[in-house]
Structure 1
Amino acid sequence: MISYPMAVGAVTTRVLEAGGGDQVVVLVHGTGGRADRWVRNVDALAAAGFHVYAMDLPGHGFASKGPGVACSVPAYRAFLAAFIDAIGAAKPVIVGTSLGGHVVASYACEQPERVRAIALVGSMGLVPIGDEARGRIQAGANNQTRDGVRTKMQRVIFDPALVTPEMLEEEWRINNSPGALESFATLGQYIATDLDKEVVGEQLARAPFPVLLVWGEQDKTVPPAVGEKVRALLPHSRLALLADAAHTAYYERADDFNAVLVDFLAERAGQTPRDGVRWS
């Protein structure tokens, strides 16, 4: 895996890349995250034969941030489209988690001919999540104190042993870097007021490409009941529920997540039983 900066239009981002060939997988993080949230997935997916990319969304990580940087699902959808063009991916698999799932689903609905398949992990934006959840996410985005960072990470990760002092220190430093608080405030306001106005579940139900849904059974941010509801809405989808995982199932249960994604793309979803993985 290599890491490097890239200009995507007017935005500078940080990219993680591994593998090669024309089977491209693009990984999109969620609110307050960044490309290296996928550090347990990039090399493993590359070893399975994919050319894998992860990048920082504007306002996050090492990407451009601060006043004048647009932070919303429409802005991120346009950024994702420009990034896919920049890497020359004709028809990638696109994976998104949380708000990143909303971005991926929105892009895929807008440009279905540019998508091989999508995978959505604890995704927002498929059905409305309601005022309370939107307000809670906004509050979390705006609270980048050390206590706020600790509370968030303990909520989105089920196993407390994974929430290390080093993780918390890095999270706090990056999310308090120049321009970050302004970008989180912009994104938080968007989530509170507009997120549920742009749900795409019904559009996605008419899409021509397959959809993988992955949920942690302990997800408190977007509960697994949402995944079950979306699975019923999307006739061309499969849902994998991962035990002992919360909102970051791709990180907490990385080996299982990687295997689930590879099996899904090989059209053998659920054919190989794995402890703690339940398909529907």
Structure 2
Amino acid sequence: MISYPMAVGAITTRVLEAGHGDNVIILVHGTGGRADRWVRNVDALAGTGYHVYAMDLPGHGFASKGPGVACSVPAYRAFLGEFVAAIGASQPVIVGTSLGGHVVASYACEQAGRVRAIALVGSMGLVPIGDEARGRIQAGANNQTREGVAGKMQRVIFDPALVTPEMLEEEWRINNSPGAKESFAALGSYIASDLDKEVVGEQLARADFPTLLVWGDQDKTVAPAIGEKVRALVPDSRLVMLAGAAHTAYYERADDFNAVLVDFLAGRDGQTPRAGVTWS
């Protein structure tokens, strides 16, 4: 895996890349995250023959942030389209988690002929999540104190042993870098006021590309019941529940997530039994 800065339109971002060729997977993080959230997935997926990319969304990680940087699903959808064009990907598989799942689903519905398949992990933006949940997410985006960071990581990761002091220190430093406060405030305001106005579940139900839904059965940020609701709504979808994982199932149970994604893309849905992995 290599890491490098890249200009995408007016935005500078940081990219993680592994593998070669035209069989592309793009990984999109969620609110307060960054490209290296996918560190347990990039090399592993590349090892199965895919050309894998992850990047920092505007306002996050090492990407451009601060006043003048748009932070919303429409802005991120446009950025994702520019990124796809910049790397020259033709019909990539695009994976998104949390708010990144909303971005991916929104992009795929708008550019249906340009994606091979999508995978959505604990995704927002598929059905309305309500005022209380939106307010909670906004509060979390705006609370980048050490205590706030620790509380968030302990909520989104089920196994406390995975939440190390080094992880918390890095999270705090990056999310308090210049411009981060302004970007998180803008994104939090968007989530509180507009997120549920732009849900795409009904559009996804009419789409003609395969959709993989992955949820941790301990997800307290976007409840597993939402994954079940979307599975019933979207005919060309499969839902995988990962036991003992919360909102970051792709990180917490990376080996299982990577295997599930590769099997789904190969048309082997659920053919290889794995403990704690349930397909529906």
Q: What do the CA deviations read for 1:185-226 (whole angstroms, capped 9, x no partner)?
A: 000000000000000000001111000000000000001000
Instruction: Letter of the 2:24 partner, please give it.
Output: V
Equivalent residues in 2 for 1:51-66 (5 A)?
51-66=51-66
Matched position secondary structure for 1:132: helix
Does residue 158 (structure 1) correspond to residue 161 (structure 2)? The answer is no
In structure 2, the gaps of 5 or more residues are none
Q: Distance in 1 between matches of 2:146 and 2:202?
A: 39
Q: Distance in 2 between matches of 1:275 and 1:229?
A: 24
Q: Distance in 2 between matches of 1:210 and 1:121?
A: 14
2:193 aligned partner: 193
1:129 aligned partner: 129
1:147 aligned partner: 147
2:32 aligned partner: 32
Instruction: Letter of the 2:117 partner, please give it.
Output: A
Q: Distance in 2 between matches of 1:177 and 1:220?
A: 28
Q: Distance in 1 between matches of 2:39 and 2:228?
A: 27
Instruction: Letter of the 2:145 partner, please give it.
Output: T
In structure 1, the gaps of 5 or more residues are none
Q: Distance in 2 between matches of 1:175 and 1:78?
A: 23
Instruction: Letter of the 1:245 partner, please give it.
Output: A
1:264 aligned partner: 264
* CA-CA distance at 1:180 after TM superposition: 0.2
Q: What do the CA deviations read for 1:230-249 (whole angstroms, capped 9, x no partner)?
A: 00000100000000000000
Normalising by structure 1, we get a TM-score of 1.00
* CA-CA distance at 1:266 after TM superposition: 0.2
Matched length: 280
Identity between Structure 1 and Structure 2 (%) = 87
Normalising by structure 2, we get a TM-score of 1.00
Does residue 216 (structure 1) correspond to residue 204 (structure 2)? The answer is no
Q: Distance in 2 between matches of 1:61 and 1:43?
A: 20
Matched position secondary structure for 1:27: strand
State the 4+ residue runs in structure 1 displaced beyond 4 angstroms.
none
Instruction: Letter of the 2:167 partner, please give it.
Output: M
Does residue 179 (structure 1) correspond to residue 187 (structure 2)? The answer is no
2:76 aligned partner: 76
Does residue 6 (structure 1) correspond to residue 6 (structure 2)? The answer is yes
Q: Distance in 2 between matches of 1:233 and 1:268?
A: 22
2:90 aligned partner: 90
Matched position secondary structure for 1:123: coil
Q: Distance in 2 between matches of 1:47 and 1:9?
A: 30
Instruction: Letter of the 2:229 partner, please give it.
Output: K
Matched position secondary structure for 1:57: coil
* CA-CA distance at 1:140 after TM superposition: 0.1
1:104 aligned partner: 104
Matched position secondary structure for 1:126: coil
Matched position secondary structure for 1:261: helix
Q: Distance in 1 between matches of 2:202 and 2:179?
A: 36
Q: Distance in 1 between matches of 2:133 and 2:52?
A: 32
Give me the CA root mean square deviation.
0.2
